[in-house]
A and B are shown apart, each in its own frame.
Chain A
Amino acid sequence: MKCKYDLISYLRGDLASEETKEIKRHLDQCTFCQAELKKIEQVFQLLGTVEKVEPSVDFAARVSQALDEVITPARVQTLRPFITPSWTERLRLSLQGVGERSLIYLRYSPAWAISAAVHLTLFGILALVFIGPTQQQLSEHFIIQYAPPGTPPEKLVPPSEVYIPFSDQAQPGQPEPPEPTMIEPPPYLPETTWKPSTAERPFTPLPPPTWTKRGVWLERLSVTADTKFLDALGQRAQKDYQAQARRKYDGQGTEKALAQGLKSLATQQTADGSWDVVRAGGRAEYTVGLTGLSLLVFLGEGNTHLSGPYQATMDKGIKYLLNHRQRDGLLGPLSFEGHTINYMYNHGIASFALLEDYSLTRDESLAEAAVAAVSFIIHAQNDEGGWGYTARSGINDTSVTGWQIPALRIAKALEIKGALESLRKASQWLASVTDEHGYVGYRGLNHYPNGYQALTAVGMFAQLYLGWETSDQLIEHQAKVLLENLPQLHPVGQELDNDFYYWYFGTLAMFLKGGEAWKTWNQHMKQVLLNSYEKQRQGELVVDRWSGYGGRIYTTALALLTLEVYYRYVPLTE
């Protein structure tokens, strides 16, 4: 028998409330329609697997150029902002005034650039005459402006000329830093998105007093806290600490699964130090990020590229990351097979691994890459405080943001310039997408295209990490949300409801919070992960909703990182 109900419109929510109610009533009784509804849901679910593409980074610029041709064809051609070799060079050119090169620049520069150049010249002359800038004063203004991704190599500053002081004060007796380089706004961004006036954006930053009220922001990011934070990272490698922590936080029973997992993950490393993502069922463009994620697993056990049972694995992996770094600090490629990729995931996760390794070893050979990676994160941050798939895209995304914060937190402890301010902005952005019940949105308030659970976990973890009190009302709400959605391993056929990402961030958040909520969560988390380990051991493959991107490497690494929680961090109540 066929019923005549419009189930498609019902699923779409396109029906009047009367009709919706009627169908609901009908569905309760009619198994045929229930099955039909399920099938249609499955179709929608399948349709949802098709990826969304991001326009190429230079797309808006290309359109802008094409528009110029049709809007005012007679106009003098405008060149994109150019990169000057250095401020002295620029000053020299400006002072030449009528020199031939300056004329070319002036002719092809947009009005604002000419105005800026004139002002800069005036400023330069005034400064030379009245102030006589020292190297240090200049560096305060023009500290490290990274070239944007995609800049042709000949335009890039060689990394050796890039200097970022670890603290604001130059140390006496240290060599003078090389002359800083000044670069105009990145040419790959259209002018309109580069300089948005805050009035045009529907974003209201939280007023500063909220911060002092909202817990212990300053305390948790104070220098004392930094020392504690770095000490806690170091603990992992200490003899017996892991066993102690497991006992203390009820992590017993996970040892075997972890040891086996580490071993198997290590054997999957390829000769070049990366992990073969494609063979594991993921996408090649995420190789750098997944290599970073795998390295974090070994770091979680206290291994570094200099020590530990998995020292060789770490060494190869870190070298792989360094070999795949761009000259502007970006870890991993900007595009893959001609398509711009969501490179901020790769970069955030790989930076996290690099920074952990660096903070544990303080190996000088990593310093430059680590600092450049952090600077790239800072450079890529949107004005609103979040990050998107690509640098300064103007799209803020809780998930990508959640992967930048851990690297920045270490950077802050290492006193890398700009990290604190960047964290503050990030925290503020996260607060702006958190509603009064604690639910965290994806790209805006109450925006949950793939559910709210994982995002709420990310938000809760990040805010706890950055300074909210564990007893904060919002954190309490969030813990409740997580407890209502305890980890659960879904049976065959519903694997796409599994979410290792949620379990990972949820575990971090609950562990940091501690208390009864953690105990309940921990019991479920342990059971789910140990079950999934057992299934894998019997040859069954456990997949989750994002496996299509990261494959087995992704699920395995996240599961292991989750099981390491007992000694990877320390609860904030202690």
Chain B
Amino acid sequence: MDLPDAELMLQFKKRRDKNAMTELVRRHQKALVNFFYRLMWDQHAAEDLTQEVFIRLVTAAKDYTPRAKFTTFLYQVARNLWIDKLRKGEVGSRPISLDAPIDPDENTGLSELIAGQSPDAVQRVINHELMARVKKIISSLPEEQQMVLNLTYYQGMSYAETAEVLDIPVGTVKSRLHTAIMKLKEMV
């Protein structure tokens, strides 16, 4: 029997049952690691932050009431942690540690990379420089736009849920996503 997340959280709140928390870790670790990974491109740092989220959950449990979806609550915690770290300068200006050196010829447009006519350009598509470039472009967006993109696209959240996590109106979510996509489009 699979208890819903909120039930597990309540179980933990009432009985400090570690198994309940462990199950929550099992269910959400991957998504959270990826959530942070897309903000900093560093798996180890992302794992450290994910671990901190779960520790914060333990402390926050006493005030937990299942008003909203559990994931909304979880990502509020994660997002607050991220903001705290940003403020303290611990995650800084997100230096991009890319797996591969960036293409020396950075002025080539991505669309040329994709649809380039010369075998040389096409070849570049096939190695993961394309991915590195995309990462770099995402990182160049303002934090608030990255966050909306992260939640709506990579975490697959609805506009309403994203709005709740970030505590902003739905309209703002839409406009931030729109701005982000338009910028990405220009770079393509």
Known: A202-B2, A493-B114, A543-B125. A192 touches B134 (CB 8 A): no
Instruction: Determine if B68 is an interface residue (Cβ-Cβ < 8 Å).
Output: no
Whether B123 contacts A541 by the Cβ 8 Å rule is: yes
Instruction: Determine if A60 is an interface residue (Cβ-Cβ < 8 Å).
Output: yes
Q: How far is the CA of A12 from the CA of B43 in the complex (A)?
A: 28
Q: Which residue of A lies closest to B18 (CB)?
A: A71
List which A24-55 residues lie within 8 A (CB) of chain B: 39-40, 42-44, 46-47, 49-55
Residue among A68, A200, A337, A548 making CB contact with B128, cutoff 8 Å: A548
The majority secondary structure among interface residues of chain B is helix
Q: How far is the CA of A56 from the CA of B55 in the complex (A)?
A: 18
Whether A53 contacts B114 by the Cβ 8 Å rule is: no
Residues of B within 8 A of A64 (CB): 22, 25
Known: A62-B51, A67-B55, A71-B21. A14 touches B158 (CB 8 A): yes
List which B151-178 residues lie within 8 A (CB) of chain A: 152-154, 158-159, 174, 177-178
Whether A60 contacts B25 by the Cβ 8 Å rule is: yes
Residues of B within 8 A of A55 (CB): 29-30, 33, 47, 50
Interface size on A, residues (CB 8 A): 58
Return the CB mask of A529-572 against B: 1 if under 8 Å, else 0. Answer: 00000000001110100011101100000000000000000000
Known: A281-B126, A495-B125. A67 touches B21 (CB 8 A): yes
List which A318-359 residues lie within 8 A (CB) of chain B: 337-339
Whether A43 contacts B185 by the Cβ 8 Å rule is: yes
Instruction: Determine if A243 is an interface residue (Cβ-Cβ < 8 Å).
Output: no
Q: Which residues of A line the B interface, CB within 8 A?
A: 6, 8-9, 12, 14, 39-40, 42-44, 46-47, 49-56, 59-60, 62-64, 66-68, 70-72, 190, 192-193, 199-200, 202, 278, 281-283, 337-339, 394, 492-493, 495-496, 539-541, 543, 547-549, 551-552
Q: Which residues of B line the A interface, CB within 8 A?
A: 1-2, 16, 18-19, 21-23, 25-26, 29-30, 33-34, 37-38, 43-44, 46-47, 50-51, 54-55, 58-59, 99, 110-111, 114-115, 117, 119, 122-123, 125-128, 130-131, 134-135, 138, 149, 152-154, 158-159, 174, 177-178, 181, 184-185, 188
Taking A60-B22, A70-B55, A199-B1 as known contacts, 13 extra A-B pairs with beta carbons closer than 8 A to each other, sorted by chain A number, are A43-B185, A46-B184, A50-B134, A55-B30, A55-B50, A66-B54, A190-B26, A281-B123, A282-B127, A394-B26, A539-B119, A540-B119, A548-B131
